[in-house]
Amino acid sequence: MRSRWRSSGEIAVARRAAEKDGSWSRVSEPILEVRDLVKHFPLRTGVLFKHTIGHVRAVDGVSFDLAKGETLGVVGESGCGKSTLAQVLMRLEPPTSGAARYAGRDIFAMRGAELRKLRRSIQIVLQDPYTSLNPRMTVGDIIGEPFEIHPEVAPKGSRAGKVRDLLDVVGLNPEHLNRYPHQFSGGQRQRIGIARALALRPDVIICDEPVSALDVSIQAQVMNLLGELQSEFGLSYVFIAHDLSVVRHLSDRVAVMYLGKIVELGTEEQIYSHPMHPYTQALLSAVPVADPTVRGQRQVIRLEGDVPSPVDPPSGCRFRTRCWKAQDICASEEPELVTRGGGHPSACHFAEERSVVP
Amino acid sequence: MNAEPYAAAVGEPGTTPDGPLLEVDDLYVEFRTRDGVAKVLNGVTYHVDAGETLAVLGESGSGKSVTAQAIMGILDVPPAAVTGGEIRYHGENLLAVDEQRRNDVRAEGIAIVFQDALSSLNPVFTVGFQIEEQLRVRLGMTRKQARVRAVELLDLVRIPNAKRRVRQYPHEFSGGMRQRAMIAMSLALDPEVLIADEPTTALDVTVQAQIMDLLAEIQVARRMGLILITHDLGVVAEVADRIAVMYAGRIVEHADAVSLYRRPGHPYTAALMESLPRLDQKGSELNTIKGLPPSLLAIPPGCPFHPRCEMAVDRCREEVPVDHGLGFGRTSKCHFAEELVSR
């Protein structure tokens, strides 16, 4: 596996910075480091002259590390900011503030040739197999396009061969490279999207709900594929999804997001078997279990109401309006994401372990 | 919602003197397309009685939604065509009566809730108007009376500030609330049967849980028959009394919930259950069903599942399996059904 580390001098600089600010090195050899990432979208109104009346605080201070070869799952419901997080990390949207480092270097400061090189290292797989592929391009063109954009990766003559290899790697028939997306099923299209993401041999793939639009049986095939590719190519994934079982299956560590913030972060074992934050517990208890015999036996936590608007999130702890533990302090003081006796960080003044998965 | 799912006799008609409340009997539907005739439904039979929940479980292309549309009479004809079978409500075959009668039945007996409330609710009318419309046209209520009833219905589905909400448009509601509004709309005429076609698929899991609780409550309170159409094995396990598993336009297995999950009687059901990732442990590799669902333009001969089935033998390619009775009303369309359940 080709290493992207630069000079040892740069690594040393990164390490010294990490030592000064102890919170940086949460994992050893992180390939991606995100610190206090913020993305606000302005809300504009007016017909002739538009003025800003507020902001949608989609991502409001997110920090995490991604270790080489690991899968970090990101779960949360609509409006929590996970898709926006993906877009900002891909530099499809500029951040409002905060930093992200790939192999120790600030990705938001990159320009020109350096940015182009970055694009080869971090790729994305999107949710909707029906809109993420250009319907007017053949599959061969779609998967070959990365080589057109980055010609230095593959000399012209070798591209067709590489495209065939990629189709094979994702389990599709290489002879189909002249077909169009509409001739494939949803699951197959998703494989095409994965092949496209793999073309430039990235280190990091951000998967934004890659299996949500697929039937159960196809979902399993694509998930196995993602797992195999990770082993074979040494990939690191940021795996964003709302299906908690799917996330657990592929993830090493999991971050739970609510209204733009990470409320709990830990290994999949810690999050699923020993959740500390009330929202995580509520989320887990809401997942239906495929076993009729546990009806009436489960710890059921039902949250009232809907998620508050990200334009005007509640003061202090954002979850307090739906939380059964809320007290005065929750409104006045925002809880930090720190370890509170459970072995992994959670952002709750009253964090307490409660196992809800039967 | 039943706290204890019963493994008792299923498939026994008879809560009404005319048989089951709603019964689909050997229904065949084709879609005539440019590329040929797609056999979308191939002899679908199921029923629901008052107070019980039938889950129709299947993936895309299984025909579960088309069956619901056929019941409601909202199939696009053409290209769709009903080519056989009956749909009986209180014993009356809806396919044999005229449009007016079908409308009456649809209005007063059977209601449907769809998956995506945003595309199912009319965006240019207020939610209140859409509920009241039915009350005024069908029950002859005055505007005032209808407004009062609409607010009551929104309260029933736990939409806060119902009086204010009733004057709002669908886009002003959140996803979960829109779904509740659709449920309120479907209850306006006191249906005996409610068909819910993927009612929570587009919703977050916490909202899904709220909506499923609501549906269960309403069903119990009104003794409605509920047909829940879904692909979600978890949701089915939580609420279904009986389950009909569909594949390639057929019911391949029919059983009560406990028996189905304990020991599936059809290879497709078994494979589906085994391919689920688990919430309670991290797995290494998921069992998959190889291949893809068949094109309905060219359904494989014999058993439609045989190209993807681990147990397939020559007989499966040659002979279409019929219903094997497995006791207590359980059936399965597999030549080896008895062996599967006795493992």
**Could you give the domains of chain A?**
8-78+93-251 (3.40.50.300), 261-346 (no CATH)
| CA dist., res. A301 & res. A282, Å (int) | 5
Phi and psi, residue B129, nearest 5°:
-60, -40
Three-state secondary-structure class, residue A297: coil
- The answer to whether A345 touches A275, Cβ cutoff 8 Å, is no
8 Å CB contact of B289 and A77:
no
Residue in B157, B206, B210 to test binding to A, most A beta-carbons within 10 Å: B206
Instruction: Name every chain A residue with its beta carbon within 8 A of the beta carbon of B210.
Output: 302-303
**Exposed/middle/buried for residue B124 (C-beta within 10 Å: 0-12, 13-18, 19+):** exposed
**Exposed/middle/buried for residue A16 (C-beta within 10 Å: 0-12, 13-18, 19+):** exposed
- Is B44's pLDDT higher than 90? yes
Instruction: Give residues 62 to 121 of A whose Cβ lies within 8 Å of B.
Output: 77-78
Closest CA to B192 of B107, B256, B71, B254: B107
Instruction: Name every chain B residue with its beta carbon within 8 A of the beta carbon of A305.
Output: 160
8 Å CB contact of A249 and B3:
no
Q: Which pLDDT score is estimated for A348? A: 94
Question: What single string gives the DSSP state of each residue in B78-126?
Answer: TTEEEEEEEEEETTEETTSS-HHHHHHHHHHTEEEE-S-HHHHS-TTS-
| CA dist., res. B240 & res. B212, Å (int) | 11
The strand pairing partners of A59, in sequence order, are A39
Phi and psi, residue B269, nearest 5°:
-60, -45
Chain B: give the shortest CA distance to residue A353, in Å: 16
Residue in B180, B286, B296, B309 to test binding to A, most A beta-carbons within 10 Å: B286
- Count residue pairs from A and B with Cβ separation < 8 A: 135
The strand pairing partners of B255, in sequence order, are B243
Which amino acid type is present at position B339? E
Q: Does A242 touch chain B (CB under 8 A)?
A: yes
Nearest to B279 among A224, A282, A287 (CB): A287
Q: How many domains does chain B have?
A: 1
8 Å CB contact of B277 and A217:
no
Three-state secondary-structure class, residue B308: helix
Instruction: Name every chain B residue with its beta carbon within 8 A of the beta carbon of A291.
Output: 237, 261
Closest CA to B57 of B292, B249, B230: B230
Residues 6+ apart with CB under 8 A from A277: A256, A263, A264, A319, A346, A347, A348, A351
| CA dist., res. B260 & res. B262, Å (int) | 6
**In this structure, is residue B295 part of a structural domain?**
no
Chain A: give the shortest CA distance to residue B8, in Å: 14
Count of H-run helices and E-run strands, chain B: 13, 12
| CA dist., res. A176 & res. A166, Å (int) | 12
| CA dist., res. A45 & res. B35, Å (int) | 49
Instruction: Name every chain A residue with its beta carbon within 8 A of the beta carbon of B273.
Output: 290
Domain that holds residue B159: 114-190
Q: Which pLDDT score is estimated for B11? A: 44
Instruction: Name every chain B residue with its beta carbon within 8 A of the beta carbon of A307.
Output: 174
**In this structure, is residue B304 part of a structural domain?**
no
- Nearest chain A residue to B4, by CA: A295
Per-residue pLDDT tens digits of chain A, which is 358 residues long: 333 333 444 444 444 444 333 333 356 689 999 999 999 999 888 777 888 888 999 999 999 999 999 999 999 988 899 999 999 999 999 999 999 999 889 999 999 999 999 999 999 999 888 889 999 999 999 999 999 999 988 888 899 999 999 999 999 999 898 999 999 988 899 999 999 999 999 999 999 999 988 888 888 999 999 999 999 999 999 999 988 999 999 999 999 999 999 999 999 999 999 999 999 999 998 888 888 888 877 777 888 777 888 888 999 999 999 999 999 999 999 999 999 877 899 999 999 888 888 7
8 Å CB contact of A303 and B175:
no
Alpha helices in A112-208 (DSSP H): 112-121, 139-149, 159-169, 186-198
Nearest to A291 among B1, B174, B261 (CB): B261
Chain B: give the shortest CA distance to residue A289, in Å: 5
**In this structure, is residue B154 part of a structural domain?**
yes
Closest CA to B29 of B98, B76, B94, B90: B76
- Nearest chain B residue to A281, by CA: B206
Nearest to B285 among A224, A251, A268 (CB): A224
- The answer to whether A284 touches A85, Cβ cutoff 8 Å, is no
**In this structure, is residue B226 part of a structural domain?**
no
Of B253 and B103, the one with more pLDDT: B253
Q: What is the band of B18 on the pLDDT scale with cuts at 50, 70, 90?
A: low
For the question of an ipTM over 0.90, the answer is: no
Chain B: give the shortest CA distance to residue A18, in Å: 32
Nearest to B204 among A188, A242, A272 (CB): A242
Nearest to B275 among A220, A272, A284 (CB): A220
**In this structure, is residue B212 part of a structural domain?**
no
8 Å CB contact of B5 and A292:
yes
Residue in B159, B282, B297, B305 to test binding to A, most A beta-carbons within 10 Å: B282
- Nearest chain B residue to A76, by CA: B204
B306 dihedral zone (left: phi>0; alpha: psi -120 to 50; beta): alpha
**In this structure, is residue B63 part of a structural domain?**
no
Average pLDDT of the segment spanning B39-60: 94
How is residue A170 written in tokens? 């994702």
Q: Does A283 touch chain B (CB under 8 A)?
A: yes
| CA dist., res. B243 & res. B258, Å (int) | 10
